[in-house]
């Protein structure tokens, strides 16, 4: 079974994280190390056919982009704490096993299923740069909203990584489609800007 780490951070809120210092998710992920995470998790060229099929949600994923931070005991504690918080947040959004999935077809179309809501669109992949572009069609007459993500493949694992601007764009697209509010300011621990959050999926 192929396993996928999909870093898509569809977090409308991170309020309530019990930390002394907090800052917005937008500030935290606005880091050059996040943008350069591909240098840490080296992946091969990803072929168009590698994406095809249905990928189902399994559990939250929390990844650090710094190898040095991963060696620290505090790094492990932080990821464990965040994963527990993410379970609660995802549950509120309907992102639970058996309720959230992506299906990529060979004709360059995809569906993103969240409960009874099915979002559709088209996608393209630059195999050399590993940049995946998702174009959501929110309605027959609504302009397509595009989201770009960086793909990283390592063995049988794959990650979809967002920088801050693209992450917020993605959250906005999903919030609009699901008719949910994204006004609550996300927050995380100050000083940990080397963390990527998302969800793990398998084919």
Q: Which two tokens stand for residue 11?
A: 């977090």
List, in order, residues 6 or more apart from 153 with CB less than 8 Å away: 43, 44, 46, 50, 130, 159
CA 31 distance to own-chain centroid: 16
**What domain range is 16 assigned to?**
3-202
List, in order, residues 6 or more apart from 148 with CB less than 8 Å away: 131, 132, 133, 134, 166
pLDDT of residue 9: 42
> Do residues 198 and 5 lie in contact, with contact meaning Cβ atoms separated by under 8 Å?
yes
Q: Is 105 helix (H, G, I), strand (E, B) or coil?
A: coil
pLDDT of residue 3: 45
pLDDT tens by residue, 105-150: 999 999 999 899 998 999 999 998 888 898 988 776 555 678 887 7
Q: Which two tokens stand for residue 42?
A: 């080296």
Number of domains in the chain: 1
3-class DSSP string for 120-136: EEEEEEECCCCEEEEEE
Neighbouring C-beta atoms of residue 117, cutoff 10 Å: 12
Q: What are phi and psi of 112, to 5 degrees?
A: -120, 110
Please, is 47 exposed, middle or buried when counting C-beta atoms within 10 Å of its C-beta (0-12, 13-18, 19+)? exposed
Q: Any idea what the Cα angle at residue 162 is, between residues 76 and 3, rounded to 5°?
A: 65
Per residue of the chain (203 residues), give pLDDT as tens: 544 444 344 333 333 333 333 344 444 444 444 444 433 444 567 889 988 988 888 877 666 665 554 444 455 666 677 777 778 777 777 779 999 898 999 999 999 998 999 989 999 999 988 888 989 887 765 556 788 877 776 666 677 776 545 656 666 676 677 776 654 334 443 444 566 677 777 88
């Amino acid at each position: 079974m192929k396993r996928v780490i999909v870093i898509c951070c569809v977090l409308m809120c991170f309020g309530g994280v019990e930390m002394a210092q907090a800052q917005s998710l937008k500030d935290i992920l606005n880091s050059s190390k996040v943008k350069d995470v591909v240098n840490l998790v080296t992946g091969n060229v990803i072929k168009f056919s590698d994406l095809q099929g249905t990928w189902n949600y399994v559990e939250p994923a929390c990844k650090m982009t710094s190898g040095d931070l991963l060696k620290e005991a505090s790094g492990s504690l932080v990821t464990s704490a965040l994963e527990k918080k993410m379970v609660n947040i995802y549950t509120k959004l309907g992102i639970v096993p058996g309720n959230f999935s992506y299906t990529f077809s060979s004709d360059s179309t995809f569906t993103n299923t969240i409960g009874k809501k099915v979002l559709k669109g088209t996608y393209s992949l630059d195999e050399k740069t590993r940049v995946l572009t998702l174009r959501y069609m929110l309605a027959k007459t609504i302009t397509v909203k595009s989201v770009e993500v960086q793909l990283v493949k390592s063995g049988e694992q794959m990650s979809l990584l967002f920088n801050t601007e693209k992450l917020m764009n993605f959250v906005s697209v999903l919030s609009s489609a699901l008719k949910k509010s994204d006004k609550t300011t996300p927050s995380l621990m100050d000083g940990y800007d080397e963390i990527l959050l998302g969800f793990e999926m398998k084919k």
